Amino acid sequence: MKRPLPESLSRRSFIKSSALLAASAAIPAWYLNEARATAASPKPLLANDRPGIALVGCGGQGRGDCNWASNFADVIAVCDVDQRHAEEASKQFTKNGKVPAIYNDFRKVMERDDIHAIITGTPDHWHTLVNLAAIQAGKDVYSEKPLTLTISEGKRLVEAVKKHKTVFQTGSQQRSDTRFRLACELVRNGRLGKLQHMTSVLPTGPRGGPFPEKPVPQGFNWDFWVGQSPLVYYNEKNNHGDFRWWYNFSGGQMTDWGAHHNDIAQWGNGTERSGPVAIDGKSLELMIPGGYTAASRYEVQCAYANGVTLTILDDQTHKLENGIFFEGTEGWIFVNRGKIEASKPELLEEPLPANAIRLYKSDNHMGNFFDCIRSRKTPICDVEIGHRSISVAHLGVISVRLGRPLKWNPEKEEFVGDKEANAWLSRPMRKPYDYSFIA
């Protein structure tokens, strides 16, 4: 399955082509005009039409999400096991003299009838239990990505959303970005001829350590924060913003940025509700004993049943720009959060025909979530899409840690004839923070 980078994606070739196509880096006028013609801003809410929401996980990302959500709803409560974070969030979202209540146990938040939706901004290893508790309590959910810690958690979450008819939006906001939608529509409509290969270029993760034990800060419930993961000592680099570099709590950049870019790759490939059939991943750098445990430099090769292949790389090792490359028989398209480019200007500049395949259109990811709360329609990045997108990253992490290629059945969501690999689809959950914690 090993596939070398094609000449079209070599650093020298890409830089040369990019210089020639600088004028094509912007969104083409025809697509902008189309977008303006069909633009639909989130419906303004009246004073009595603003849902009550609660933020669970009051770090920087959670507060950023909640600040966005506060344009559409009233923040009634905040929750965090770090008292300082909870107090800062309550102060931030105090409005017109109304102070959000502070909680340290998210289960208490779910008991309030005046809270209609939950914004989940916790570290990755807490997403599933918080989201399941919210779903069971009849709340709608906007959850940060990566959606889950394991593939088994994702399957359980998908079933719960279906059972309770929850409006569930995964925070993969690139789906509500015009550039990414344009790239995927062009690919899905054969603008590149037959799609052959995709490259998902993610940031290189940090490699640090060892980190000595430190006293747990006052007001920080460390045992609760560690949750389902094995209990480890506190240090300055295994909590809050740095949690994602530890396998116990996340999967490094492969699951962090991978949740974004692999989502777009699957959208362009038309496999957003499926997945690859083969995975071969490897770590390219030994981690420091006593330091970060999620792979820093990596390469993962994936193959799909339709013949398309996907390579997941870190940017520094491979000297490529963060973003997604789509390659076909008639050329390539590159897209990231700042630009969209192509091997030939006409690939972008020629409008799509009236009968072209059109993808779900959203111009405001959070606004789309609240629109769907009112309409009870499915959001642009629903729970199954979020689950399938992060499953690609989880598969890569499992292959890297096992050190060998794997065969995957995306329909059954299990490895083919591989008992050892299937044992990695879930992880032991430390009591009391297993599923009984929210029963």
Q: What are the residues whose beta carbons fall under 8 Å from the beta carbon of 97, sequence distance 6 or more?
A: none
Does the pLDDT of residue 7 top 80, yes or no?
A: no
Does the pLDDT of residue 246 top 70, yes or no?
A: yes
Hey, what domains does the chain have and what are their CATH numbers?
7-37+177-359+383-438 (3.30.360.10), 47-174 (3.40.50.720)
Amino acid found at 86: A
Does the pLDDT of residue 12 top 70, yes or no?
A: no
What integer pLDDT is reported at residue 46 of this predicted model? 52
User: What is the SS3 assignment for 52?
Assistant: strand
* Among candidate residues 435, 139, 388, 416, the one with its CA nearest the CA of residue 271: 388
- High-pLDDT (> 90) share of the chain, %: 90
At 163, list the tokens: 């059972």
Question: What does the pLDDT look like over 159-217, one tens digit per residue?
Answer: 999 999 999 999 999 999 999 999 999 999 999 999 999 999 999 999 999 999 999 99
What integer pLDDT is reported at residue 228 of this predicted model? 98
Average pLDDT of the chain? 93
Does the pLDDT of residue 40 top 80, yes or no?
A: no
Question: What does the pLDDT look like over 55-109, one tens digit per residue?
Answer: 999 999 999 999 999 999 999 999 999 999 999 999 999 999 999 999 999 999 9
Does the pLDDT of residue 387 top 80, yes or no?
A: yes
Question: What does the pLDDT look like over 264-300, one tens digit per residue?
Answer: 999 999 999 999 999 999 999 999 999 999 999 999 9
Q: What pTM value is reported for the model?
A: 0.93
In this prediction, residues 133-154 reach a mean pLDDT of 98
Pairing relationship of beta strands 340-342 and 331-335 according to DSSP bridges = antiparallel
What is the full DSSP assignment across 79-144? E-SBHHHHHHHHHHT-BTTBPPEEES-HHHHTT-TT--EEEE-S-GGGHHHHHHHHHHTT-EEEEP
Does the pLDDT of residue 115 top 80, yes or no?
A: yes
Say which DSSP state 220 is in: B
What integer pLDDT is reported at residue 36 of this predicted model? 82
Helix, strand, coil share of the chain (percent; to 5): 40, 15, 45
pLDDT band at 48, cuts 50/70/90? low
